Structure 1
């Protein structure tokens, strides 16, 4: 049961990092997939498959290196030039996506309650600053805990729309292409770009989340489950918004519009949940950014975190849908390099990762026996040999065992 709970915690945290404002509101799905009509639905399915594979890869690499920030992993798996390019790209992505979230917070409250854009943005600023003072385990728990609620609302919106909509595929295909604007040239490009963008958004916090897992095998299973959940959500969302494109095609938060039509009370709850998902992503982005910028001086984390978050808030008033249209695709193209580098690193090192995973399970077992005073001399020799062969120092192995025992 403990293993299952750890795996699900990682899975839900990964989904929570990816499923932010643009996805939860439906704006990303509109622009990346629905805008291409029927072809975009195939693009959504393709994105889901690739994302599942990348979730496994990234979380396992984070666990294998027990990474505290993404720069540690990039330096070990990529050529110094590529490592530097990816590092800069991820830092830019974290910051850019973070301030897009503040814009989304303003749009959320404006559409649902008619409040000025700055009200939702300032409230989000206060929440993100407060939560960022917590440690990484608490941040991971917060991100993962909110995720199930958006799953429920997306399923509700999808069931309602798909059961009540008058689906004329040819007509909806034409309406989608005419109504929803996009800066991307074709659904195949959009599908790959979307994965690249989401990885650029998720990789830093996902590596940190994976780094909290002592067992790479468990981290990989969490990535697989998280990827499958994400895949189901993206396909379901694409189908739903395609069916409702005549009604919601021009809205900033189309999924919220659907729930409001279903039931006004549910609409109020959905607005709160979407706001929470915006918070999820903003917190993940600025937290990971702060960790990266203070990698050499961890004592400065809180100061740097506050400064970059406030700067991001100031840049957020450009407009939510405009930011999604222009910022996200550019970041997605940079993400293609990330896909190539991380996949090659995992393929090249998968045997070592598998061996290290089994080694850590043995070490955990032997340390448990030592804690109970039952470690035989031959088992002590096995322990020493496993420590010598591990890619982690002994103190890190013992610390991870203590954390695992008390979690």
Structure 2
């Protein structure tokens, strides 16, 4: 494989990771609820989720590659027909917009609570940076994630090293949270939810690969990277169990307990993870609303999306997450159905 293909694979892998991880992952809450509470079974769950991320991610990327799709509606139309596709695409757009609003609200809360700056300053600054990155389309997303994701990875490794120095907790300390079958359901649900969320970016991302081999390697890099980060976060959380269950942002508590400077670093990492999800969501929305739009048309759409989201974000982060995320979880299963079978081109 030539050098350019390796570079493309790395960018695809980073964008895959950046799309999946968000505020829930960075805070540690997702890993805690889906994996850590299952004690020693958490490692089996993480392994299963990693396999599903590799399989599902590569399938979605390949669909985008083979269909030459510029938006996810091309996949839903191919799989479900035009009428059902319209319903699913509309539902997906509503959910993506809702999550975009939630991300902006989360950014505002982060700037207010961690940086002691204005809610509106944090949101407007992030909107400005989002518009700047999206001026370059998918290439801008690839470049941004190639910087953001390695920084996140280094931070999680630092947390892991400091956790090792403090000593790993015995599995028996969280044995009361174990269940002999729920870990499998949690793992499948977690992978399905995040693949459903990532479909809007992975489909057009597949068109960026020069070859199938480059695409497969990129999907594998993304899945393995996610798996490694899940293990690292789980170990850090398990080392402080069962007390972590009481915290809304458990990784923030761990960082603050270890070092005040680490807490500041965590705040920037959390912002980076929110930002990586935000740019993917806005890109997916604008490409869905007007596929093949010019740069000026796309910029106008992005400004409209983010302006409306800015005003809706005043509702608050926690309220939005409570309402929207469960709904999106159910929707995700419909989109996962689209990757169960290989593409067979129709003669219509």
The TM-score, its normalising length taken from structure 2, stands at 0.86
Aligned counterparts, 1:276-315, within 5 A:
276-295=272-291, 298=294, 300-315=297-312
1:267 aligns with 2:269: no
Supply the distance in 2 between the matched residues of 1:35 and 1:326 (Cα, whole angstroms): 23
Match in the other structure for 1:334: 331
Alpha-carbon shift at residue 147 of structure 1 (Å): 0.5
Supply the distance in 1 between the matched residues of 2:118 and 2:44 (Cα, whole angstroms): 38
Aligned counterparts, 1:206-245, within 5 A:
206-245=202-241
Structure 2 counterpart SS, 1:261:
helix
Match in the other structure for 1:20: 22
Range that drifts further, 141-150 or 33-42: 33-42
Supply the distance in 2 between the matched residues of 1:313 and 1:258 (Cα, whole angstroms): 31
Query: Does the 8 A contact of 1:98 with 1:286 survive in 2?
Result: yes
Structure 1 counterpart SS, 2:291:
coil
Structure 2 counterpart SS, 1:67:
coil
Match in the other structure for 1:358: none
Alpha-carbon shift at residue 297 of structure 1 (Å): 5.4
Deviation string 1:341-393 (CA, Å, 9 cap, x unpaired) is 1222x3x54xx8xxxxxxxxxxxxxxxxxxxxxxxxxxxxxxxxxxxxxx9xx
Alpha-carbon shift at residue 165 of structure 1 (Å): 4.5
* Inter-CA distance 34–120: structure 2 relative to 1 (3 Å threshold): farther
1:143 aligns with 2:179: no
Supply the distance in 2 between the matched residues of 1:2 and 1:131 (Cα, whole angstroms): 22
* Inter-CA distance 24–246: structure 2 relative to 1 (3 Å threshold): same
* Inter-CA distance 193–88: structure 2 relative to 1 (3 Å threshold): farther
* Inter-CA distance 86–238: structure 2 relative to 1 (3 Å threshold): farther
Alpha-carbon shift at residue 152 of structure 1 (Å): 0.9
Unaligned runs of 5+ residues in structure 1 are 178-184, 353-390, 392-407
Aligned counterparts, 1:37-186, within 5 A:
37-115=39-117, 117-165=119-167, 167-174=169-176, 186=182
Range that drifts further, 277-286 or 60-69: 60-69
Query: Does the 8 A contact of 1:193 with 1:329 survive in 2?
Result: no
* Inter-CA distance 27–291: structure 2 relative to 1 (3 Å threshold): same
Unaligned runs of 5+ residues in structure 2 are none
Alpha-carbon shift at residue 35 of structure 1 (Å): 4.4
Query: Does the 8 A contact of 2:10 with 2:218 survive in 1?
Result: yes
Structure 2 counterpart SS, 1:249:
helix
Alpha-carbon shift at residue 53 of structure 1 (Å): 0.6
Supply the distance in 2 between the matched residues of 1:331 and 1:92 (Cα, whole angstroms): 10
Query: Does the 8 A contact of 1:157 with 1:255 survive in 2?
Result: no
Query: Does the 8 A contact of 2:196 with 2:336 survive in 1?
Result: no
Structure 1 counterpart SS, 2:93:
helix
Supply the distance in 1 between the matched residues of 2:270 and 2:218 (Cα, whole angstroms): 24
Supply the distance in 1 between the matched residues of 2:23 and 2:271 (Cα, whole angstroms): 8
1:191 aligns with 2:187: yes
Query: Which structure is higher in RCO with an 8 Å CA cutoff and minimum separation 6?
Result: 2
Alpha-carbon shift at residue 36 of structure 1 (Å): 4.7
Supply the distance in 1 between the matched residues of 2:94 and 2:52 (Cα, whole angstroms): 23
CA RMSD of aligned residues (A): 2.8
The TM-score, its normalising length taken from structure 1, stands at 0.75
* Inter-CA distance 111–49: structure 2 relative to 1 (3 Å threshold): farther
Supply the distance in 1 between the matched residues of 2:283 and 2:107 (Cα, whole angstroms): 18
* Inter-CA distance 252–139: structure 2 relative to 1 (3 Å threshold): same
Aligned residues: 341
Alpha-carbon shift at residue 187 of structure 1 (Å): 4.0
Alpha-carbon shift at residue 321 of structure 1 (Å): 4.5
Match in the other structure for 2:11: 9
* Inter-CA distance 304–226: structure 2 relative to 1 (3 Å threshold): same
